[in-house]
Amino acid sequence: MRKTLIIALSLTAGLALAGCSEKTQDHAEKTAEAVGQDVDNAVDGAAGKAGTAVDHAAGDAANAVGNAANDSAKAISSAVDKAEAAADRAGEKIEHGADKARQRVHEETAPDKH
């Protein structure tokens, strides 16, 4: 794109200069070169800004993924803790029920009851 624009500007300047004096032609040539350089600098600046924006967006996306992974790990850890606590409570209830059953069996089968 830059080369096309520079060529178009050069051709336009060349045609316009065909009927001008040498001093005018030199001045116009320098002006055309300056315009070409300005266009080149503008394109380079825009490309640099676009690259920076892409870098920032990629960094932001990576941070978001990292944060989501951390949040997921915390949620999973919390769920595991709750499941362990529930399993402990269930085990205690089973143990308590087994103790009651043993006690009742013992009471029902004690020699003094018969």
Mean pLDDT score of the chain, rounded to an integer?
80
Residue 91 has pLDDT above 80, yes or no: yes
Radius of gyration of the chain, Cα coordinates, nearest whole angstrom: 42
pTM value is 0.47
For the stretch 98-113, pLDDT in tens is 999 999 898 888 777 5
